[in-house]
Amino acid sequence: MFRKILVANRGEIARRIFRACRELGVQSVAVYSEVDRGAPWARQADESYPLKGNAATETYLNAEAIVSIAKAVDAEAIHPGYGFLSENVDFVRLCQRRHITFIGPTPEAMEALGSKARARALAAECGVPVIPGVDGRDMLESELLAAAERLGFPVLIKASGGGGGKGMRIVAHREEFFEALQAARHEALVSFKDDHMLVEKHFPHVRHVEVQVFGDLHGNLVHLFERDCSIQRRYQKVVEESPAPGLAPELRARMAEAALRLVRAVGYTSAGTLEFIVAPDGQFYFLEMNTRLQVEHPVTEAVTGLDLAAWQIRAAAGEPLSFGQADVCHRGHAVECRVYAEDPANDFLPSIGRIDYYRPPAGPGIRCDDGIETGRMISPHYDPLLAKVITWGWDRAEALRKMRRALRDCIVLGPTTNIAFLLDLLDHPAFEAGEVETGFIARHMADWRPGVELTEPVWLALAAFEALHPAPNRREGADEDRGFDPWAGLPGAWRNTS
């Protein structure tokens, strides 16, 4: 086992990995930008060191600075979390040259699966269904248009590298194609320094289902079942759950088998996720692979009982998996909601500013991964994710009941959040019925507005009351608090909009 690990990330995922390090008896090292100085997640590490600047390119994407700190403090390994440098092959090779273990897959596996174009070609070779489309490398714009016409509109133009919805455009009509192609290429060049594009058939009203896989350095490889990530806005996931509601057992088995067939072809190690779309007729198609830990990994942990972050560390240290495929059980149902500092009523624009008051939810079957606290500033430099609320129940109905309670108990005052939006989404009859698809928000929630707005003087008074008279039994694991809770009688929309 490693003695010391540096975590090249920030926020809730850094805190999550520090916790795994502590449970394994490994010392942890944080790095932080200037605006993140004193952040709660950085304080949780055994050691923490500054990165000069605030922009991501100066700090959490500064590979040389991060590796130099790791060498200076004798960290034997670096965990990248997700985002930032987590899928950067050059960073992995830099770690290798400096004799530091990268906690993740090999650079060869990253190169084979990290590019959408290469992963698509490999999937086809392995007999995994791929979305009809073409690889646009070295193709003229007129040739790409001709390919789009053969596929039939609508089509999806997307960047081969990167993710997060950047460099992607849906084109419904021939006349829109060239403008959309140029916009996607420009965005991809700025974001990923690569304007290599794919053109694929676009299927509206599909489900987004992904399969979690895990491999060790000894050739052991398992799948850890699937997650449904269909509830999205601007190609960013908002709600995830496992198992995928209403997915036929036969289809679930075929997707898992296809996922393992693809990753076996490259000798994959560590955690990885294969993303698929499922069409209304039940046919599934390979979308892409994420060669890292996913934001939504807690729902898989909840239903399998496995600590994926800890197993990433153990596998990178050379430890074989202590379980095989037959040992992995799927128990109950788990849901994750992402709490963002954003305004759903204003096209989900990020909201920045000071967190005047924060109270996370707690109770049996409720988990909250966060990296914030009262008094911290929400910076415009990074993703506006504040926290992930995860609930588990014996079935979907119980998990959703706990999620509604957890979100109502989650108090974030100051920046506008999406909590009231999430509560209304969970209460929508189509969602309750499991009728999820990637266009759900656009179809059912496009005109959403918060029901009531809580004025600043009122919520400041409520926050002050609780600070002076806290509920005596508010602690992690307590199902209900005894004593007066000043927030209890307020509708969710009042407590989570500013």
Burial label, 381 (beta-carbon count in 10 A; 0-12, 13-18, 19+): middle
Q: Do residues 407 and 423 make contact, with C-beta atoms less than 8 angstroms apart?
A: yes
292 is catalytic: yes
Q: Do residues 51 and 33 make contact, with C-beta atoms less than 8 angstroms apart?
A: yes
Two tokens, residue 454: 């809580």
Q: Do residues 6 and 29 make contact, with C-beta atoms less than 8 angstroms apart?
A: yes
In the block, residue with structure tokens 């419904």: 172
- Catalytic: which of 16, 169, 185, 292? 292
Q: Do residues 112 and 119 make contact, with C-beta atoms less than 8 angstroms apart?
A: yes
d(CA 89, CA 96): 11
d(CA 293, CA 305): 16
CA end-to-end span of the chain, whole Å?
A: 47
Distances in Å between the alpha carbon of 55 and those of 32, 59, 89, 155, 379?
A: 11, 6, 21, 34, 10
- Exposure of 74 in the CB half-sphere (CA atoms within 13 A): 3
Q: Annotated catalytic sites, by residue?
A: 292
